[in-house]
Amino acid sequence: MSNRTQILCIGAGYVGGPTMAVIADKCPHLDVTVVDINAGRIAAWNGDTLPIYEPGLDEVVRRARGRNLFFSTDIEGGIRKAEIIFVSVNTPTKTFGQGAGCAADLQYWELTARQILAHSTSHKIVVEKSTLPVRTAEAMERILNGNDKGVRFDVLSNPEFLAEGTAVKDLEQPDRVLIGSHETPEGVAARKALVDVYTTWVPRERVIESNLWSAELSKLTANAFLAQRISSINAISALCEKTEADVDEVAYAIGTDSRIGPRFLKASVGFGGSCFRKDILNLVYICRSYGLDAPADYWESVVNMNDWQQARFVQTMLASMFNTVAGKRIALFGFAFKADTGDTRESPGIAVARQLIEEHARVVITDPQALDNAKVDLKDVSREIVFEPDPYKAAAGAHAIAVITEWTLFKTLDYERIFRAMEKPASIFDGRNILDRQKLFEIGFNVFAIGKRPLKHF
């Protein structure tokens, strides 16, 4: 066996794949193996078309793959030789039993812990990468260290803060890396081993050390705060539409206060993504389980506000289209939950498309990266939807366009050409406030944006 430090990651998803690729790229002195139960996904990581679309990731993987970055389905072999094991399997919201719809489903997590235990014959550092309820490490340690094999495991929490679409940059130049451990000599030594990995390329002052529970809870708290800002500005967007205030002007005015700051104040059709909803509901569940109903209600309102904003978007469409969209072709511009990703998990596009279908609209979806995922998300109603890669074709014959994702592509289209091919009156509902409203209005569109006065011809 080589004496190079062996790193393993279980779970080759949006988090595990890019994180390990960047670690391998930055640390040629380490061997990094990523394993997954999904053989198709591993084959894709080893092929020409990676399983996820992420700007800059192809180059990183190309540099490191086969050198010190390996993708494999041999989970057991990987566990045996690893010294540091990152666990990045999914922890979806429970769909059954106690805590359904709120608590985290930890079945994959526990299975992975048992798998690690079964195949370990030497000391391992086990790193929680997935977002988990605070105090999960306690359960993990009970499973791992309750063994009679004489093998010791040190569990660390190292939550991932990367955002999709900017994952490579977020990993290469993180604002901070957070590593939590027990404050015991063993815990601190394990933490130092992981600090050494990151400080190969991350400045030392950006690596924050904390106790295990603080690290676990910080991840949930970070996502809750980010989502809370979006729900807050979205709540204000509704008031703007009633009062003729402009939400972008309000966001700019408050964001220049250095105590508030400018980011995450973009009003929208609603936030999506695999984390915000799941993590906040998880926080809500944890608060309730400790009898903390007021904090639980407080955080739950962030999710409720987001559901309301998505429903409100469709209501605005209905109200402005003579209270019926039945039989009308409506083009959704974008389906990814944000630009620069093909990921559609929890995308507001899902709720919007489903509500429009319930209203018997003829929905057409166009997106440069997310059509395959959109087909899966909407497979039960896909016979009623057209999936069209070309936005011009998607809009042809439509009564309305609804911008769901802020792809740059949608800002650069020829809207005069689009207008000519649409039914009249032609409306645009800009769920991301990315288009030039005045110009669209002059072309002839009725223009509705989030938190802005509508521009209507009739």
Q: How many residues does the chain have?
A: 458
CA–chain centroid gap for 374, Å, is 15
CB nearer to ligand UDX: give 168 or 275. 275
**Least Cβ distance, residue 396 to ligand UDX (angstroms):** 27
CB nearer to ligand UDX: give 31 or 160. 160
Q: Would you call 297 helix, strand, or coil by DSSP? A: helix
State both tokens at 331. 């083009």
CB nearer to ligand UDX: give 15 or 394. 15
In whole angstroms, give the CA distance from residue 173 to residue 193.
20
DSSP 403-423: E-S--HHHHSS-HHHHHHTS-
Give Rg (Cα) of the chain.
Answer: 24
**Least Cβ distance, residue 12 to ligand UDX (angstroms):** 5
* Residues 6 or more apart whose Cβ sits within 8 Å of residue 240: 246, 247, 250, 451, 452
Residues that bind ligand UDX (CB under 6 A): 10-16, 36-38, 41, 88-91, 108, 111-112, 129-131, 160-164, 223, 226, 230, 264-266, 268, 271-276, 337-338
Q: For residue 451, which of 303, 305, 269, 317 has the smallest C-alpha distance?
A: 269
CB nearer to ligand UDX: give 250 or 325. 250
**Least Cβ distance, residue 115 to ligand UDX (angstroms):** 8
**Least Cβ distance, residue 132 to ligand UDX (angstroms):** 8
CB nearer to ligand UDX: give 316 or 446. 316
Phi, psi for 99 (deg, rounded to 5):
80, 10
In whole angstroms, give the CA distance from residue 232 to residue 71.
41
Is 275 part of the annotated catalytic residue set?
yes
CB nearer to ligand UDX: give 64 or 275. 275
Which residue's CB comes closest to ligand UDX? Answer: 13
Q: How far is CA 182 from CA 43, 209, 224, 295, in A?
A: 37, 10, 25, 27
Quickly count: other Cβ atoms within 10 Å of residue 6's Cβ. Answer: 18
- Sole residue written with tokens 């003729």: 244
Phi, psi for 229 (deg, rounded to 5):
-65, -40
State the catalytic residue, choosing from 9, 27, 102, 275: 275
**Least Cβ distance, residue 433 to ligand UDX (angstroms):** 10
* Residues 6 or more apart whose Cβ sits within 8 Å of residue 51: 12, 17, 41, 44, 45
**Least Cβ distance, residue 33 to ligand UDX (angstroms):** 13
Active site residues: 275
